[in-house]
Chain A
Amino acid sequence: MTARLLDGPAPSAGAESLGDHRARLGDLPGRTERSHLIPLLDSAGLLGRGGAGFPVGRKWGSVAGRAKGDAVVLANGAEGEPLSHKDRVLMASRPHLVIDGLELAAEAVGARRAVLYVGSEHAQARAALERALAERDANRSRTLPRIPVSVATPPVSYVAGEESAAVHFVNAGDPRPTTVPPRPFEKGVGGKPTLVQNVESLAHAALIARFGDAWYREAGQAATKGTALVTVTGGTRPGVLEIELGTTIGEVAQWAGVVAGEGSPVLLGGYFGGLVAGADAWGLPLDPAVLRGHGTAFGAGVVAFMGDETCGVTTTARIMDYMAGSSAAQCGPCVFGLRSVADASARVATGQPRQDDLARLRGWSQSIAGRGACRLPDGATGLLASSLRVYEADWASHQHHRRCSVRRGAARAAS
């Protein structure tokens, strides 16, 4: 079985109540067992699910190991990635599992304050979490020490989910990334060391606390163990599903009703991710370690099937435009670089390329990464580089012949 986070009632049934949640999963273990939670997360091998895949136990340890003072925990449910829906599905259907994880994290790192950071567009998720907090207030379990939990709702923005941006928003109402260091685990909310952890990661931690590291590692078919939520799009039956890590892209394609698209490229990770050629993709396991070895990333668990009828150049140009528009307009290489990338991509896509557009796109795909306060430029240009590779012939056809092989005619602006 793969359903763990989403075991129990169907997510479409709405938020699970506190009573149902406790009846189904039981209480959290006692204080002595909970005091070993960080090493337990380490041995489980749980990786963060916000996109970067950093080991969760190590992240908690870096806040718990501070020299003095108290700390803050922030559950990151911003989910600004346009192709990802898994965090909002989790928050809306399993709010108590997320809050269990948040409270466990707060106890483990010695935090005396916690923040639920939920994208303002995720109205259902926010309502479910607020209801869940009220239920817990009215029916307090004596298991965990009580700490104040506040809800922060950043405006719709791609970069608001970046961890320094989350801290910046809670501190100053400004959801833009800040220069690091200092990183949030050193100096975050209210100047205190702050653990910023994706909501799915927290929910996994709440299950590992109950059932253990060995249980967690029973799932997982390739290198990385456990299950993960993924958002699948592009087939006839898209949706959010929980998979064992290591499930192949071909198996997910079958689930999503992708038939004709076999052999067409797949976008993994999200707008931050990378395209993989269809021929390589079908047998590829959805596993962070394996995907990294293939020059792509598990990211936030997005699997988007491009299909044969989709022009890769046009799609890439739209994503680049979105990324340029998502820039927080703080760092020069991002402001000027991503806008230039978006404009040149749009010209090539619509059959109006300048002579050197494609060559310049190739250059920018390598020269902009690593030169922003956050990793938005890295994500955007990484996706661009993968598109230039996977759709090489299509880019060349658009640039040199002003022809789109998908539309089988002149490249032009989409209607």
Chain B
Amino acid sequence: MSGRRALDSGLRLEIDRIACDAYGTCAELLPEGIDLDEWGYPIVAPGNVPLHLVDHAKRAVDACPVLAMRLVRAEASASVPIPPPAPVLAVRPDRTEGTPPWPPRPQSRAPKRSPEDRRRR
């Protein structure tokens, strides 16, 4: 999250993407950890919040007008061990019916809601 070596707070920022409405307050209050994309939605720097930025992060969380951000304890992510591949033998596939259209045809219907329709600040 920052260029220098920083102490890990063990906390990370979590965004409720449905609630987020691109106010951009978070990026103003925590520019070290949050960038905005071209539509104004936050891009959170990977990893945990460094200890020296926790106060700023809390302020950004509190200032969000739609309360779309939380500071949560980071959990170790569980991973499934992958065994090595074994040699491939023969196969006897069994056929059934069912054939989806391929390649896809152009869609004729309009999207449910165009970006322009969406309420902006």
Q: What is A's interface to B at a CB cutoff of 8 Å? A: 1-3, 6, 10-12, 55, 82-86, 88-89, 93, 178-179, 221-223, 231, 233-234, 237-244, 246-248, 251-252, 255, 283, 285, 287, 289-290, 292-293, 304, 306, 310, 314-315, 318-319, 321-322, 324-325, 327-337, 339, 367, 371-373, 414
Contacts and interface: CB of A to CB of B under 8 A. Distances in A.
Interface residues of B, number: 47
A93 B96 contact: yes
Contact of B97 (A83, A239, A252): A239
17 contacts: A89-B96, A179-B18, A221-B87, A223-B82, A223-B83, A223-B86, A237-B95, A238-B98, A243-B91, A251-B93, A314-B103, A318-B105, A333-B37, A336-B41, A336-B118, A371-B15, A372-B17
Tell me if A's interface is mostly helix, strand, loop or mixed.
mixed
B93 A252 contact: yes
Contacts of A314: 103
B112 A332 contact: no
Given A223-B82, A241-B95, A329-B113, A233 B20 contact: no
A333 B18 CA distance: 10
B17 A414 contact: no
Interface of B: 15-22, 37, 39-41, 43, 80, 82-89, 91-107, 109-115, 118
Question: Lowest 6 CB-CB distances: which A-B pairs, in order?
Answer: A85-B98, A331-B17, A11-B96, A332-B41, A336-B39, A233-B102
B91 A251 contact: yes
Given A12-B96, A12-B97, A318-B105, 13 more contacts: A221-B88, A234-B102, A234-B103, A239-B98, A240-B97, A248-B91, A289-B82, A314-B103, A322-B107, A324-B111, A332-B20, A339-B114, A371-B17
Contacts of A86: 98
A335 B91 contact: no
A23 B98 CA distance: 27
Contacts of B111: 324-325, 327, 329, 339
Contacts of A306: 103
A247 B102 contact: no
Given A85-B100, A322-B107, A324-B111, A330 B17 contact: yes
A325 B98 CA distance: 25
Nearest to B41: A332
Given A231-B100, A241-B96, A285-B85, A339 B115 contact: yes
Given A239-B98, A239-B99, A333-B17, A255 B107 contact: no
Contacts of A319: 104
Contacts of A329: 111-113, 118
Among A285, A335, A372, the one with the most B-chain Cβ atoms within 10 Å of its Cβ is A335
B21 A332 contact: yes
B98 A178 contact: no
B70 to A, nearest CB: 10
A332 B20 CA distance: 8
Contacts of B94: 2-3, 6, 241-242
A2 B91 contact: yes
Given A93-B96, A335-B113, A335-B115, A293 B82 contact: yes
B97 A333 contact: no
A354 B71 CA distance: 40
Contacts of B106: 318, 321, 414
B104 A315 contact: yes
Nearest to A302: B100
B98 A88 contact: yes
B88 A318 contact: no
Nearest to A318: B104
Contacts of B22: 332
B121 to A, nearest CB: 11
A283 B85 CA distance: 13
A335 B118 contact: yes
Nearest to B22: A332
Nearest to B114: A339
Contact of B102 (A88, A304, A328): A304
B18 A84 contact: no
